[in-house]
Chain A
Amino acid sequence: MKIVLLSGRTTKQGVTAEIGKTSDDYLQNVAVIQLNPTLMEQMGAKDGDTVEVQTAHGSAVVMCHKSDIGENMGFIPYGPWANLLIGTETQGTGMPDSKGVEAELKKTDKNVESVDELLARIVEGRK
């Protein structure tokens, strides 16, 4: 499934980040993607299923939730999972392309990676 990826703030993201970014609350509210129900049906995904999002820059496994967003879009709250999917090119502005990235979506059996797993995957062996 091809979609355009959007990211942004949500109240829950704000509330749970203030509890702590290593908290489970945060993961539950940030490692998610909001999708149109029709799209989810086409994919055979139910609310709470995991999907794998792949862009030119990386991939992330997140939980999907129904929303009234457009059929060709997906929305991920700001946070490390959204950032797995965007690149560092800023076209000389300092600002990466954080909104409007093209992504490929598929249903998956993989679990959502925890913060530690994410860090391990990206910075493994570096520190």
Chain B
Amino acid sequence: MIHEDVVCPFCGCLCDDIAVTTEDNMITDVKNGCAISKSKFMNHHLNLLESALVDNMKVSLDEAVGRAVEILTNADNPLIYGLSSTECEAQRHAIHLAELLGATIDQTASVCHGPTILGTQDAGCVKCTLGEVKNRADLIIYWGCNPAEAHIRHFRRYSVFPEGLFRKSKKEREVVVVDVRNTASARIATTFLQIAPGTDFETISLMRAYLKGKGDALPDEFKNLVERMKRCEFGIMFFGLGLTMSRGKHLNVDAALRLVRDLNEYTKFSITPMRGHYNVAGAGSTMAWITGYPFAVNFSMGYPVSNPGEFSAVDVLARKECDAALIIASDPVANFPAESWKHLADIPTIVMDPKVSLTSRIAKVSIPVATAGIEAEGTAYRMDGIPLRLKKVVDTTRLSDAAVLSRMIEKVRA
């Protein structure tokens, strides 16, 4: 059986044209997806968490869920973290659970585009959907991101190569890559501009100054870039973790957001972050509509309070402030600074994941779940905020994240 137009549950491109072939409830072929997408679909059944575990002993799902709830309700300051690689209903339940527990809840944006959110809260954000780029952009800038390896079909589907309404091919588009290293993406660009690590803020700030007639110190190649930005008919800047993770962080993003904003005095210009996990945009969305804040929220007062740096997961772990953790669809032991693993090992950590992860290796309770987007349905939000319906292409006896979380909620309320 061939499932057409399946949404790929891997990266923020959220490609929705994947054709998945299944035979006897096994995925046997994947078409249209990139290498990573193929790997995700074809290997989703490998290295699974085979059973619910408590202290590495096999237990029933009910027992594991019961133990998890016991740990969470006995904790004074539990942390719920993850969310970006599962669907929105699970996220909504996770937020509800956090509220009931008076917990801290954070999602993976805090270690990818959290600084983008902070920048947006300061400066606003002039953005558009990816189809606007495909249909209109004649100048495309990728700054501090490497879609050739991280968002593999981005060029082909949304920006450089596709046929659009007003731009028919690559010939009608200028592509600029700015990065600290010559990446695979740089090779696709019509212009590659290399900057030294840690100089994004000064470069962008000088560009803003130059735009306002004061940027003499700006290198000529960037002066030239600003001129082209002013002259184009529809410009777009995509940016990645090159801005958010390097020195300056939200200030880098803030500068970029303001540069683009100011360019709208001259022409139409937009900016869009290259969100990583396929539903990290959804995690920010659900948290915002339920709590008002997209990440780093604490419920200990009985209402939501947000403060990145205080309630963000890395900080909470580094300061050893949480006394239990529930990790949903994420692997902080692979993704966080090693120092923060120690606290996750010290406290009772509960992991909900389809697969064995580094975090599940140190967890007290592991709960196997269905893989969202392959074995469970739900909503996911693309990097530009477009919501799409994830599909279920194979059956499983394992419960979805949403189902497990709603069982936990029932038990907490009981």
Interface positions of A (Cβ within 8 A of B):
4, 6-11, 14-23, 57-58, 68-70, 73, 75, 78-80, 83-84, 86-100, 115-116, 119, 122-123, 126-127
Chain B residues whose CB sits within 8 angstroms of the CB of A87 once the complex forms: 337, 339
Chain B residues whose CB sits within 8 angstroms of the CB of A6 once the complex forms: 180-181, 197
CB of A96 within 8 A of CB of B36, answer no
Shortest Cβ distance from A59 into chain B, in angstroms? 10
CB of B241 within 8 A of CB of A14, answer no
Partner of B242, one of A10, A83, A99, A122: A99
A94-B114, A94-B312, A127-B345 given; A21·B334 CB < 8 A:
yes
Chain A residues whose CB sits within 8 angstroms of the CB of B146 once the complex forms: 8-9
Interface centre among B40, B148, B358, by most chain A C-beta atoms within 10 angstroms, is B358
Interface centre among A17, A19, A94, by most chain B C-beta atoms within 10 angstroms, is A94
Shortest Cβ distance from A61 into chain B, in angstroms? 14
CB of B150 within 8 A of CB of A14, answer yes
Shortest Cβ distance from A9 into chain B, in angstroms? 4
Shortest Cβ distance from B311 into chain A, in angstroms? 8
CB of B36 within 8 A of CB of A95, answer no
CB of B337 within 8 A of CB of A96, answer yes
Partner of A95, one of B39, B115, B341: B115
CB of B250 within 8 A of CB of A19, answer no
> Does residue B366 face the partner (Cβ distance < 8 Å to A)?
no
A20-B46, A88-B340 given; A97·B245 CB < 8 A:
yes
Interface positions of B (Cβ within 8 A of A):
10-11, 34-36, 38-40, 43-44, 46-47, 106, 110-111, 114-115, 118, 146, 148-150, 152, 180-182, 194, 197-198, 241-242, 244-247, 249-250, 276, 295-296, 308-310, 312-315, 317-318, 331, 333-342, 344-346, 355-358, 361-362, 364
CB of A19 within 8 A of CB of B43, answer yes
Chain A residues whose CB sits within 8 angstroms of the CB of B361 once the complex forms: 22, 115-116, 119
A-B CB contact pairs (8 Å), 15 listed:
A6-B180, A14-B11, A15-B36, A18-B36, A21-B331, A21-B355, A22-B361, A23-B47, A73-B180, A80-B334, A94-B114, A95-B314, A100-B245, A115-B358, A126-B342
Shortest Cβ distance from A22 into chain B, in angstroms? 6
A6-B197, A69-B181, A100-B198 given; A83·B10 CB < 8 A:
no
CB of A119 within 8 A of CB of B197, answer no
CB of B10 within 8 A of CB of A93, answer no
Shortest Cβ distance from A33 into chain B, in angstroms? 13
Shortest Cβ distance from B91 into chain A, in angstroms? 18
CB of B197 within 8 A of CB of A73, answer yes
A7→B13 CA distance, assembly (Å): 21
Shortest Cβ distance from B198 into chain A, in angstroms? 5
A-B CB proximity, top 7 nearest: A94-B312, A20-B47, A92-B309, A88-B318, A9-B150, A94-B110, A123-B345
Interface of A is mostly: loop
Shortest Cβ distance from B306 into chain A, in angstroms? 10
Shortest Cβ distance from A102 into chain B, in angstroms? 10
Chain B residues whose CB sits within 8 angstroms of the CB of A8 once the complex forms: 146, 149-150, 241-242
A14-B10, A19-B43 given; A98·B338 CB < 8 A:
no
Chain A residues whose CB sits within 8 angstroms of the CB of B46 once the complex forms: 19-20, 23
CB of B345 within 8 A of CB of A86, answer no
Chain B residues whose CB sits within 8 angstroms of the CB of A19 once the complex forms: 39, 43, 46-47
A94-B106, A99-B241 given; A86·B334 CB < 8 A:
no
Shortest Cβ distance from B207 into chain A, in angstroms? 20
CB of A95 within 8 A of CB of B110, answer yes
A80-B358, A93-B250, A119-B361 given; A11·B152 CB < 8 A:
yes
A93→B254 CA distance, assembly (Å): 13
Residue of A nearest to B111 (CB): A95
Chain B residues whose CB sits within 8 angstroms of the CB of A80 once the complex forms: 333-334, 338, 358
